[in-house]
Chain A
Amino acid sequence: MTAAPPHGHLHQEVPSDDPRVQLDEAAGVFEPVPPYPPRTEREAEFYTLGDGEMFINMGPQHPSTHGVLRIVLKLDGENVVDLDPVLGYLHRGVEKLCENSDYHHSIAYLDPLEYIASLFCEWPGVLAFEKLLDVQVPRRAEYIRVLATELNRILSHSMFIGWMALDLGGLTPILYGLIERDEIAEMLGALTGQRLLYNYLRIGGVNGDLNHEFMSRLGDWMSRATTQIEANTTLLNENEIFVRRMRGLGTMDKETAFRMAMTGPNLRASGVPLDFRRAHPYSVFPELEFDIPTREEGDCLARYLVRIDEIKQSLRIIDQVIHNMPDGPVIAKLPRLLRPRPGRAYAAVEGPRGQYAAYVISDGTDQPFRMRIHDPSFVHLQAVGVLMPGHLIADAMAVMASLDPIMGGVDK
C-alpha cells in the first residue's frame, strides 16, 4: 500500500514551473484557495485571476454565512467579480441513513435538514409514505398539521427578519425575532415535547393531540401576535438606511427566477404568484382562506416584505384552523411494521423557503429503497452566483441573507 497522500492535496502532480505555483512559493505562505489543477471548465474560468483581482475566502467559520458555508469570492477591490460556494461541511448522509432504517424511523432523520423549519422537512416525507401506503389521514390530524406548520413558518420568518438585519449591521432586530421564536418554540414544545427538532408528524397523522398548555399559550400569543410583529418590523421597514441598502439590490426577474428553479417567497417576490398551497393543494388548504403575497420588484426589499406579509397570512390561517378544528382521532391506525407495495411517490409542500419535496421508491420491504429529499435552500443558493457579481461585499452578504438559506438543508 502506497503512502497516503497528504491531507487536502489532490493526487495529481503539480508542475513546478507554473507561475501561480511559483508565486505561492515566493510568498512563502499558504495561499489556500484554488484547487489545482482545475477539474472543470467553470473551475478553470473561476480560478484564473484577472488584472487586479484577488481571492478572499469567506470560510466555513464566518459571522455571517448562515451556517457552515465556504464562499470563495473573486474581488476587484470591493466589487465581487465572481464567486464559488463550497458546500458539504454539514453533509450527514441523510438519504443513505433513511435507506437503512424503516419508514417510521426515517421521519426523525428528516427533521435536522432545515432545523428552523423542521416540520416542513418531515411533511413531504410523511406525505410520500402515505401515498405509497394509501393511508387516509383523519381530518383533525390534518388540521393539527396545518396549525403546527404555520406556527413553524412564522418562527422561521421571524428569524429571517432578525438575520437579515444582523447581516446589515443592526444588532437589535435579531433579538426581537428571537423573542417571537422563543414564544413559538415554547408553544410547540408544549405540543410536541421538543423546541427545535419536533419529530411530530407521523405516517397517518401526528404524534399527540392538542393539550391544554399548548392551547393556553397559543391563545395568549395570538392575542398579541399582530401588534408584536408589527412592532418588530416597523423598526426596519421605515428605517432609511435599511431600505436604501436593500432597494434595487439583487434584482431577479421572472425568467431568471424560473431558470434558477426558484420557489417560495423568492419566486413570489419576483412577481410570480405561485404557492403550492393553492397551485397544487394538499392537506386541508382548499378549505382555508388566505392570500398569496406577491411583489413585482424582485429585489432584496421585496423578498423581505413578502415574508412579512406571509407572517400575516399565516396568522389568518391559524385563526381559521383554531376556530374550525374538527374532532376525531389524530392518527390513522397503521401496523408497526410497514411494507408498502413496490412503487414510487413524490410529494411536495410549500414551506417558508420554497418547495420541500420527497421522492420515495419502495421495493416492498420495510425499508425505503430510495429516499430523495429536495430542499429549497440547496437550489436557491445557486442564485448567489448569479445575483452577487457586480455588487460590493456588503451587498453580497445582504443578497445571500435575503435568499434565506439554511445550511442544514443545503448540505442534507
Chain B
Amino acid sequence: MTAVARSWSRLTLAGKILFTVVPILLVLTAGLLLVIVLAGKPIVDFLAANMWLVRFVVAATAVLLMSVPSAFLIIYMEMKVIALMNLRIGPDRVGPFGSLLSVVHGLKVLMKEDFSPTGADRLVFTLAPVVVYMSAVMSLLVLPFAPRIFGADFNIGLLYLFAIGGLTVVGLLMGGWSSFNKYSLLGGLRSAAQVISYEIPLTLSVVGLLILAGTMSLNQLSINQSGWFTNWYVFQQPLGALIFFIAATAEANRTPFDLTEADSEIVAGFATEYSGMRFGFFFFAEYVNVFVVSGLIVTLFFGGWNAPFAWPEAWAIHLNLDPGSLGMGLLFGLLLIPPILILALAAPFYVGRSSLPWWQALIIGFVLFNLLVIVLIGGWAFISLDWVAGLLWFLLKSYVFVFIFVWMRGTLPRVRIDQLMGFAWKWLLPASLLNLFVTALAVIVISPR
C-alpha cells in the first residue's frame, strides 16, 4: 500500500468527504476565476444579449435547489407532527428537537448500496424515480412565490401544471412495472388508476375559477386576489376549492388516498424494490408534490402571496440612503456598532450569572446580536419590500396547508380502491360539473358581455 492509500484509509468518513470535496471546489473556483479573468467580458456580453438563457439557468437552479430544503422541512414536520398527535415524541436526537433528521436521512440514502433486482428492467428502473422527481420539481417552476419571484410566467400556467401532474403517473407506472415484483405492479397500477381518476375533477373544479378570472397565468391570479381577504377566490368558488382540495390530496397520494404506498397491504407499493437514493428520489418527490399542491391551493384560492388585508403603502419605510453621503461615519459605524451591541447584550448575562465564563457570555451576546439584526432587517424588509412580505405570506399559507395534509395523515384511515374510484367518478366529477355550470350561469346572468 502506498503512503497515500494508507493515509486515506486512516481517515474517518468526514475526513474522506472533506478531502474529496474541498480540492474539487478549489479547482473549480480557480478555473472559474481563470475563465472570468481571461474571457470575462465576452461572456458577459453574450449573456446580456441572451437574457432568456440567464433567466432559464437561474430559474432551473433555484427550483432544484429550493425543492430539497422544502422536502427536508416537510419530512421533518410530518414525523414530528404525527408523533405529537400520536402522543409520542418523534425525532429528538439529531439536532435540537430532531430538526437535522432530514439531513441525516438524506446522507443515509446517499450511502446505501445501489442495486436493482434480478429480472428488473435496468433502464426503466433507474429512470422511474428521475421522472417522478423531475415532474414534481417542474411544477415548482410556475408557482408565484412573491410579486416578482417566480420561475416562469406562462399565460397557460395552470394547464402546464396539470400536464406535469400527469407525468408523475408515468413515472409511477415505470417504477411499478420495471421492478419485476407483483407488489410493485399492484401499487403502480393502483396509483395510475387513482391519479387518472382524480385528474378530471381536479381540472374541472378550476375551470369555474378560470371563467371568473379570465386567465390561466398563476401570477395574474395572485395579483387578482390582492387587497382584503374577501377578494380571495375561495369565497367566490367554495365548492370548487373543496373539490380541488380533495382531488389534490389524491393527486399527491396522501392519506386518505395513499393506497399506492399502503404499507399494511402491499408493503411499499411501487417502491418496494427501491432503496438508497432511488427511493430517496421517490420519497422527496412525494413531499415536493405535497408542497406544490399546497402552494397551488394557496395561489388559486387563498390569495397567493397577498396578505389577508390590504397592505397600506404608507407603512413602507423607504430608506433613501446614499452610502456615499455618510462618509467615514459609515466605516466607524460598521466597525464599532456590532462589538458595542454584542457587549451590551452580553453584559446582563455576565453580570447576572456569576458562573458564566466571559466567552460564553460573548457567544450569547453574538447570537442575540444576530437575532436582533435579523429581526430588525427582516422586519423592515417585511414591511417595506413587497416581495419579502409576499414570500413570507405565501410560505406561511402553504405550510398551513402542508400541516393540514400531515394532520389528515395522522388521523384518517385509508379508503379502498373501489371506494376511491367511485368517489371520484360518481361524486367529485358531477360536483365539479355542477360548479362549472353554476359559475357560467352566474357570469352570464350577472355580467353578460
Contacts and interface: CB of A to CB of B under 8 A. Distances in A.
Contacts of B267: 62-63
Contacts of B430: none
23 contacts: A29-B118, A56-B186, A63-B264, A63-B267, A78-B417, A168-B413, A169-B256, A169-B258, A169-B264, A169-B413, A169-B414, A171-B409, A172-B86, A176-B86, A235-B411, A239-B413, A241-B256, A241-B415, A244-B419, A245-B413, A392-B418, A393-B266, A394-B259
Interface string B255-271: 11011001111110000
B265 A241 contact: no
A162 B419 CA distance: 23
Given A56-B182, A56-B183, A175 B413 contact: no
A54 B183 CA distance: 11
A397 B266 CA distance: 10
A38 interface: no
Kindly name the residue among B85, B416, B417 whose own CB sees the greatest number of chain A CB atoms within 10 A: B416
Contacts of B409: 171
B180 interface: yes
A291 to B, nearest CB: 29
Contact of A175 (B87, B118, B259, B419): B87
B245 to A, nearest CB: 16
Contact of B119 (A27, A56, A63, A394): A27
Contacts of A394: 259, 262, 265, 414, 416-417
A94 interface: no
B411 to A, nearest CB: 6
Interface string B406-449: 00011111111111000000000000000000000000000000
Contacts of A393: 186, 265-266
Given A29-B118, A241-B412, 4 more contacts: A56-B182, A56-B186, A171-B409, A175-B87
A165 B418 CA distance: 19
Contacts of A172: 82, 85-86, 410-411
A242 B413 contact: yes
B321 to A, nearest CB: 54
A394 to B, nearest CB: 5
Contact of B416 (A29, A166, A167, A392): A392
Given A78-B186, A169-B262, A392 B414 contact: no
B417 A392 contact: yes
Contacts, number: 82
A11 to B, nearest CB: 28
Contact of B414 (A27, A175, A236, A241): A241
A229 interface: no
Contacts of B118: 29
A397 B264 CA distance: 8
Secondary structure of the A contact surface, majority rule: helix
Those 10 A-B pairs whose CB atoms lie nearest each other, nearest first: A169-B414, A170-B413, A64-B264, A168-B413, A175-B86, A169-B413, A29-B119, A394-B416, A56-B182, A167-B264
Contact of A28 (B85, B119, B190, B411): B119
B414 A166 contact: no
A247 to B, nearest CB: 11
B10 interface: no
B86 A245 contact: no
Secondary structure of the B contact surface, majority rule: loop
Q: For chain B, which range describes its interface: under 10, 10 to 19, 20 to 34, or 35 or more residues?
A: 20 to 34
B88 interface: yes
Given A393-B266, A394-B259, A394-B265, A170 B411 contact: yes
Interface in A175-214: 175-176, 179
Interface string B177-204: 0001011001000100000000000000
Interface string A99-134: 000000000000000000000000000000000000
A395 interface: yes
Interface string A366-402: 0000000000000000000000000011110100000
A279 B209 CA distance: 66
A246 to B, nearest CB: 10
Interface string B374-414: 00000000000000000000000000000000000111111
Interface of A: 27-29, 54, 56, 62-64, 78, 165-172, 175-176, 179, 235-236, 239, 241-242, 244-245, 392-395, 397
B428 to A, nearest CB: 15
Contacts of B418: 392
Kindly name the residue among B86, B259, B418 whose own CB sees the greatest number of chain A CB atoms within 10 A: B86
Nearest to A170: B413
B182 A54 contact: yes
A173 B186 CA distance: 27
A176 B415 CA distance: 21
A27 to B, nearest CB: 7
B357 to A, nearest CB: 44
B265 A397 contact: yes
A81 B73 CA distance: 44
Given A171-B82, A394-B416, A64 B265 contact: yes
Contacts of A169: 255-256, 258, 262, 264, 412-414
Contacts of A29: 118-119, 180
Contact of B413 (A62, A78, A165, A395): A165
Nearest to A30: B118
A241 B413 contact: yes
A199 B219 CA distance: 70
Contacts of A241: 256, 412-415
A63 B413 contact: no
A388 B182 CA distance: 19
A137 to B, nearest CB: 40
A245 B415 contact: yes
B419 A245 contact: yes
B81 to A, nearest CB: 12
B416 A245 contact: yes
Nearest to A27: B119
Contacts of A64: 264-265
A54 B186 CA distance: 11
B183 to A, nearest CB: 7
A165 B152 CA distance: 44
Nearest to A55: B182
A63 to B, nearest CB: 5
Contacts of B183: 56
A127 B414 CA distance: 44
Interface in B27-68: none
A394 B265 CA distance: 6
A243 to B, nearest CB: 10
Contacts of B259: 394
A245 B87 CA distance: 26
A395 B259 CA distance: 12
B270 to A, nearest CB: 15
Contact of A171 (B266, B410, B419): B410
A162 to B, nearest CB: 11
Contacts of A166: 264
A153 B110 CA distance: 47
A54 B262 CA distance: 20
A236 B118 CA distance: 42
A222 B413 CA distance: 30
Contacts of B417: 78, 392, 394
